[in-house]
Structure 1
Amino acid sequence: MTDHAPAPAGPALPADRLAALDALPVDARSLPTSPLSPAQVRAAGLTLHDLWLPAVTLDQRALEHNLYRFARWCAARGVDLAPHAKTTMAPRLWSAQLERGAWGLTAATVAQARTMRAHGAPRVLIANEVVERNQLAWIADALADPAFEVLCLVDSAEGAEAMGAALAGAARPLRVLVELGPEGGRAGVREADGALALARTVAAIPSLTLAGVEAFEGVFPQRRDDGSPARVRAWLDRLPEFVRGADAEGLFSEADEIIVTAGGSAFPDLADQALAGELDLSLPVRRILRSGCYVTHDDVFMERVSPLRSAADDDPLVPALTCYARVLSRPEPGRAILGAGKRDVSFDIDLPLPRALLRGGERVPLEGTARIAKLNDHHAFCDFDADDERAPRVGDTVELGLSHPCTVFDKWPLIPVLDPGLRVVDAVRTLF
């Protein structure tokens, strides 16, 4: 990891709201005393060896590195970042992202946006079309708050009309982005003509303002060793085509800038390339990436596909999430049962990766000598060469690298943060 000069600066979340959250005790199954607040954890003088296993932890130094590294990567390309904050649902980490220059936060749902606003986020992009009346009532309330900006997506005339009707009495129009989606994907307008027709509908609704276009290329297979990158590039080329057509018709006349946004965590480089061309529009253009997983990276999924993976960059992102699990049983030759399972770690894309054993005060690397074969709710089946001296023994601690951070954070309401000496120096509260 490289030490970096400061990333672009921005305002943190309000200190009083973070302090209030840090003062609230929370049930935390990995701590020796529970419930505890984050503030109490910081003051407790704990180390890794005090934690009840299994325990998922964050690496303090890796977090700092990743926050600075990706912020500087975006700044070097002149692109804004609105990280998908549902990855962590952790106000402390949102604040760190905003401090390092994030333009705003991205939410998947209105409920997430509500949590972000409650903790002082100044701007949230809801990456979905909103049609539920109660949620639109919340958006109407948010539009009356001059200290908060909310945007959302639209991908159908019916959705636009529902939003327009529900927001007819709002204090200001809601800025919306037309969502484009590929055939067979999830939401989003499929055809260019349909997208322009929807833009005309939005532009004619007084309570909405057409603000730009959005796409999420993460619906394509997220790998670099097949035709996926070429498919992503070809599809993302539709975004500039749309904004040129909509601008030529004067459909952005109520906006003060045109937003063009894409970029999950796998292909932000391809999104940046697609959005980087000269658009020659009537208004300034704001290019926004929305990557979220960069904050912790991971050992398998992101390390396989990110442009800042170790195989592709001289200063790569670094895995910052670890699960420590105890060896509970050696029931058969070549197999150990670990005390961590689906309730503790992600398994939706890849199974955990055994990195090392902690034994007798030493860290014994396991790379390439052990694998997790399957998970139950609370157990992992770890296979290995029974004759290897590094074979796990009952009572050993196994250090597991993880895949897909989004489905790790949601399992842990309080995650200890370790310094390089394995001292617990902080705890991150999540709000799923």
Structure 2
Amino acid sequence: MDLATLETPVPVVDLDIVEANLKRMQAYCDAHGIALRPHIKTHKIPRLALHQVELGARGITCQKLGEAEVMAAAGLDDILISYPLLGAGKAERLAALSRRVRMRVSVDNPVAVATAAEAARQGAEIGLLVEFDSGNGRTGVTSIDGVVELARRIRETPGLRYDGLMNYPVSPRTGEILRELLPRLKAEGLEPAIISGGGTPNAFRTHEMAPVTELRVGTYIYNDRMQVAAGHAGWEDCAFALHVTVISRPEPHRAIIDAGSKTFAADIMPAGPQEGHGYFPDYPGARLEKMSEEHGMVDLSGCDRKPEIGQRLRVIPNHVCPVSNLHDRIAVTRGGAFQEFWDVAARGRSQ
């Protein structure tokens, strides 16, 4: 089967670029004495996760239990769930995982600690990382005293192991907080064995910003338009593209492609919706200005030459992680030639 004959829309991943991206990040971590724990939420494919470990990653990061269950079934071990888990159902599933593989979970509140403790009672010892907020306004303890108190609680809870700290995204503020927090923890006998930081955009500056011992990054495997805008990658480092077809040219300045919101995620660029929902490498002046479910409306007014009906186009998504999650499988290439389809085994695993 030839790549040009694949029915569109289809996500296509260049494995040569993937390999270069993986090796580049592993080399950075090795050079700075940081353990790499890649986040599989971007690709959700066990064989890619296994390859990341083969290249030197310590283990993997998952955001949800469903992802971890898929990865564990494929033979992955040493899994961190970087997300608070709450309730009896989550405790039961976490317990089942802990009996099979080494598990860590991040927490930022006593209820999440209690859920992990219940899982440990049913399964095996579970390591916990206390997540602290450095200004992202998402999950994470927001005070130094709160971090110390939660770490104490973990240490005193049977079946749990206090392993250290977690933060996202790593920033200069992370370093400021740690300079105040680490002496407090050391005085309590709670010096962290792990300081886990995350975020692809500034990944190669991690060692400058904070004393992180472990790096959680996901998007780096594929890269996307946001990573290019952030300066982390160039267009040549983007491994994932959606191949689409022009199905209509109602007006000279407008094309309709066979892909809409069920193919692309709705993420917009930092500058706003005027930048559109993807980048066309062969038509950089084109703008995917709006979408319905199965239609993409492309403004061609910025293009000197314009694609015709029936022409296939490549589109690099703004944010690849949710786009990857929309598709059951990807087409993979090596040397520019189609190889096979790979199932996105953990797609839709949001519980």
TM-score normalised to structure 1 length: 0.74
The SS at the match of 1:187 is coil
Show CA shifts across 1:114-145 (max 9, x none).
Answer: 11111111110010122221221222233333
The one-letter code sitting in structure 2 at the alignment partner of 1:118 is A
Partner residue in 1 for 2:274: none
Shift of 1:86: 1.1
Partner residue in 1 for 2:340: 426
CA radius of gyration, larger in: 1
Measured in 2, the distance between the counterparts of 1:162 and 1:321 equals: 37
Conserved 8 A contact 2:196-2:213:
yes
Shift of 1:238: 1.6
The one-letter code sitting in structure 2 at the alignment partner of 1:154 is V
TM-score normalised to structure 2 length: 0.90
Partner residue in 2 for 1:361: none
Measured in 2, the distance between the counterparts of 1:332 and 1:96 equals: 47
Conserved 8 A contact 1:60-1:418:
yes
Conserved 8 A contact 1:213-1:239:
no
Partner residue in 1 for 2:184: 245
Conserved 8 A contact 1:154-1:160:
yes
Measured in 2, the distance between the counterparts of 1:355 and 1:95 equals: 30
Shift of 1:184: 6.7
Conserved 8 A contact 1:86-1:108:
yes
The one-letter code sitting in structure 2 at the alignment partner of 1:149 is R
Partner residue in 1 for 2:206: 271
Measured in 1, the distance between the counterparts of 2:130 and 2:302 equals: 57
Task: Specify which of 321, 329, 333 is matched with residue 414 of structure 1.
Answer: 329
Shift of the 239–387 alpha-carbon distance from structure 1 to 2, 3 Å rule, reads closer
> 1:209 aligned to 2:209?
no
> 1:309 aligned to 2:261?
no
Shift of 1:260: 0.3
Measured in 2, the distance between the counterparts of 1:47 and 1:88 equals: 23
Measured in 2, the distance between the counterparts of 1:113 and 1:185 equals: 25
Conserved 8 A contact 1:345-1:402:
yes
The one-letter code sitting in structure 2 at the alignment partner of 1:177 is L
Partner residue in 2 for 1:372: 288
Conserved 8 A contact 2:79-2:102:
yes
Show CA shifts across 1:238-259 (max 9, x none).
Answer: 235333322221135xxxx700
Structure 1 gaps, min length 5 = 1-45, 219-231, 277-285, 311-315, 357-365
Show CA shifts across 1:45-87 (max 9, x none).
Answer: x111221111210112211211111111211111111111111
Shift of the 251–386 alpha-carbon distance from structure 1 to 2, 3 Å rule, reads closer
How many residues get paired?
339
Conserved 8 A contact 2:262-2:293:
yes
The one-letter code sitting in structure 2 at the alignment partner of 1:345 is F
Measured in 2, the distance between the counterparts of 1:386 and 1:258 equals: 53
The one-letter code sitting in structure 2 at the alignment partner of 1:152 is V
Conserved 8 A contact 1:236-1:271:
no
Q: Quote the RMSD (CA, aligned, Å).
A: 2.2
The one-letter code sitting in structure 2 at the alignment partner of 1:309 is A
The SS at the match of 1:164 is helix
Measured in 2, the distance between the counterparts of 1:70 and 1:326 equals: 34
Measured in 1, the distance between the counterparts of 2:77 and 2:340 equals: 25
> 1:179 aligned to 2:146?
no
Shift of the 272–426 alpha-carbon distance from structure 1 to 2, 3 Å rule, reads farther
Shift of 1:160: 1.8
Conserved 8 A contact 1:152-1:177:
yes
The SS at the match of 1:153 is strand
Structure 2 gaps, min length 5 = 270-276
Task: Specify which of 54, 57, 75 is matched with residue 102 of structure 1.
Answer: 57
| Sequence identity percentage | 28
Measured in 2, the distance between the counterparts of 1:183 and 1:238 equals: 10
Partner residue in 2 for 1:359: none
Shift of the 91–161 alpha-carbon distance from structure 1 to 2, 3 Å rule, reads closer
Shift of the 165–353 alpha-carbon distance from structure 1 to 2, 3 Å rule, reads closer
> 1:140 aligned to 2:95?
yes
Conserved 8 A contact 1:326-1:395:
yes
Shift of the 239–271 alpha-carbon distance from structure 1 to 2, 3 Å rule, reads farther
Task: Specify which of 98, 105, 130 is matched with residue 152 of structure 1.
Answer: 105
Partner residue in 1 for 2:310: 395
Partner residue in 2 for 1:260: 195
Alignment of 1:12-23 (within 5 A): none
Measured in 2, the distance between the counterparts of 1:324 and 1:114 equals: 31
Measured in 2, the distance between the counterparts of 1:119 and 1:160 equals: 28
Structure 1 segments of 4+ aligned residues over 6 angstroms from their partners = none
The one-letter code sitting in structure 1 at the alignment partner of 2:254 is R
Measured in 2, the distance between the counterparts of 1:120 and 1:248 equals: 39
The SS at the match of 1:374 is strand
